[in-house]
């Protein structure tokens, strides 16, 4: 019986295999494998011959075959709702670098804020990776459960979920938001609006809860559905003004900048006519005018922590880690006392 002749076509041109190197060096494939893995002791004589042969032939191991043989791909997946949000690309960027240091590659997927797509994307990602990092997932708990049930490490970022099979690292937005709210109240504002960000996001719920706390201080808090983008903030400016408020707490910097833009267009000034706070402290926030009062959410630290946890899981550690990183309010020029009226 003769085997088929495959892979000799143009695309994906046949690369040099371990067998050819072995033959050229006059050793067995096992020896070549050992030399490249540095796994077992090989006499320097053979090592030299192998290396020379490999060099001459331009051999590099086929990673796919290696992966299949050892049962790990050295690739992890990361799924985020929207790559275009600075929030996430800072996180991703850090994870990329941390993973690379440990010899891992990262497949990135973006669900485009589409909750329904999250699970399918997660499954697909898990098929070709050793583990999955979920950024701010809004999928149902049962869906998350199904993902982790596939037996591979899953770490959830920016959403608290009490499943013991899941490891999580979250930023505590509540306290920073509370401080921002108190700051505004202390400034003397009595009528503020809270803008709701991405519906269904856990972080969003935390922030809203913190903002509502203001009511206990006798401050009127109007809640307006907004969204998490520049356009969203810009769009709701009219509604905000209709409430007669003197301060607005935005769900993130993007929305805050959108609102400020809308205000400016109407000839209003920040903070003289309206105080505005953001959230996240994206790099822009320092450079817009006025510089934004916001909360710094350490996405880089979060990324580093997420990888740490993932690395542990990949290493066989038990899941269930719970990490919380605190956001910090940062006070800049977009908030001030309301006009004496």
Task: Find the helix or strand (DSSP H, E) in which 132 lies.
Answer: strand 131-135
Q: What is the torsion angle, in degrees rounded to the nearest 10, for the CA atoms of residue 205, residue 210, residue 215 and residue 216?
A: 130
Q: Token digits for 122? A: 């997660």
Judged by beta carbon, residue 49 or residue 94, the one nearer DNA is 49
Using CB under 8 A, pick the residue from 4, 316, 340, 341 that binds a copy of itself: 316
Residues of this chain, 262-291, that bind a copy of itself according to CB under 8 A: 264, 283-284, 286-289, 291
Does position 224 bind a copy of itself by CB under 8 A?
no
Does position 67 bind a copy of itself by CB under 8 A?
yes
Using CB under 8 A, pick the residue from 17, 20, 72, 191 that binds a copy of itself: 72
Cα dist. 71→65, 68, 101, 104, 245 in Å? 10, 5, 21, 14, 60
Quick count: other Cβ atoms within 10 Å of Cβ 25? 22
The span from the CA of 229 to the CA of 251, in Å, is: 10
**CB of residue 16 to DNA, shortest distance in Å:** 7
Task: Find the helix or strand (DSSP H, E) in which 124 lies.
Answer: helix 115-127
Residues of this chain, 180-219, that bind a copy of itself according to CB under 8 A: none
Cα dist. 121→68, 81, 125, 143 in Å? 22, 11, 6, 11
| CA-atom Rg of the chain in angstroms | 27
Contact (Cβ atoms closer than 8 angstroms) between residue 99 and residue 108 = no
Widest Cα–Cα separation across the chain: 95
Q: Rounded to 5 degrees, what are φ and ψ at 237? A: -50, -45
Does position 115 bind a copy of itself by CB under 8 A?
no
116 binds, among DNA, a copy of itself, none (CB under 5 to 8 A by kind): none
Select from 284, 289, 247 the least CA-distant residue to 264. 289
**CB of residue 182 to a copy of itself, shortest distance in Å:** 28
**CB of residue 174 to a copy of itself, shortest distance in Å:** 27
Select from 311, 272, 327, 305 the least CA-distant residue to 135. 305
110 binds, among a copy of itself, DNA, none (CB under 5 to 8 A by kind): a copy of itself
**CB of residue 120 to a copy of itself, shortest distance in Å:** 11
Does position 341 bind DNA by CB under 7 A?
no
Does position 241 bind a copy of itself by CB under 8 A?
no
**CB of residue 105 to DNA, shortest distance in Å:** 16
Residues of this chain, 40-69, that bind DNA according to CB under 7 A: 40-43, 45-47, 59-62, 65-66, 68-69
Binding mask 11-40 for a copy of itself (x = CB under 8 A): xxx-x-------------------------
Q: Token digits for 69? A: 């043989």
Using CB under 8 A, pick the residue from 23, 47, 124, 179 that binds a copy of itself: 124
Q: Token digits for 55? A: 């060099």
Using CB under 8 A, pick the residue from 2, 3, 5, 6 that binds a copy of itself: 6
Q: Token digits for 19? A: 């067998």
Does position 90 bind a copy of itself by CB under 8 A?
yes
- Would you tell me which residues interact with a copy of itself (CB under 8 A)? 6-7, 10-13, 15, 60, 62-65, 67-68, 71-73, 75, 83-84, 86, 89-90, 92-93, 96-97, 100, 105-110, 112, 124-125, 127-128, 130, 151-152, 230, 234, 257-258, 260-261, 264, 283-284, 286-289, 291, 314, 316
């Amino acid at each position: 019986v003769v085997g088929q002749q495959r892979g000799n076509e143009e695309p994906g041109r046949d690369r040099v295999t371990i067998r050819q190197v072995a033959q050229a060096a006059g050793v067995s494939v096992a020896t070549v494998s050992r030399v490249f893995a540095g796994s077992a002791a090989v006499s320097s004589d053979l090592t030299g011959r192998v290396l020379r042969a490999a060099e001459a032939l331009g051999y590099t191991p086929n990673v796919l075959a290696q992966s299949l043989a050892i049962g790990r791909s050295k690739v992890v997946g990361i799924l985020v709702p929207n790559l275009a949000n600075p929030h996430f690309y800072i996180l991703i960027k850090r994870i990329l670098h941390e993973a690379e240091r440990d010899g891992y590659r990262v497949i990135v997927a973006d669900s485009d804020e589409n909750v329904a797509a999250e699970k399918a994307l997660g499954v697909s990602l898990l098929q070709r990776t050793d583990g999955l990092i979920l950024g701010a997932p809004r999928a149902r708990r049962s869906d998350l459960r199904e993902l982790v049930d596939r037996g591979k490490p899953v770490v959830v970022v920016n959403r608290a979920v009490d499943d013991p099979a899941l490891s999580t690292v979250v930023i505590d937005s509540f306290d920073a938001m509370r401080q921002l709210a108190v700051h505004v109240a202390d400034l003397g504002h009595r009528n503020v609006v809270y803008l709701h960000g991405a519906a269904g996001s856990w972080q969003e719920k935390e922030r809203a809860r913190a903002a509502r706390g203001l009511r206990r201080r006798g401050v009127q808090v109007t809640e307006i559905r907004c969204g998490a983008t520049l356009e969203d903030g810009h769009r709701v400016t009219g509604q905000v003004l209709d409430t007669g408020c003197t301060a607005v707490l935005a769900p993130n910097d993007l929305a805050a900048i959108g609102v400020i833009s809308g205000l400016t267009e109407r000839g209003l000034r920040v903070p003289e006519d309206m105080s505005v706070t953001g959230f996240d402290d994206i790099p822009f926030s320092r450079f817009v005018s006025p510089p934004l009062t916001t909360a710094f959410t350490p996405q880089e630290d979060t990324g580093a922590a997420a990888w740490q946890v993932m690395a542990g899981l990949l290493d066989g550690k038990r899941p269930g880690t719970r990490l919380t990183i605190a956001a910090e309010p940062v006070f800049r020029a977009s908030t001030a006392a309301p006009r004496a009226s």
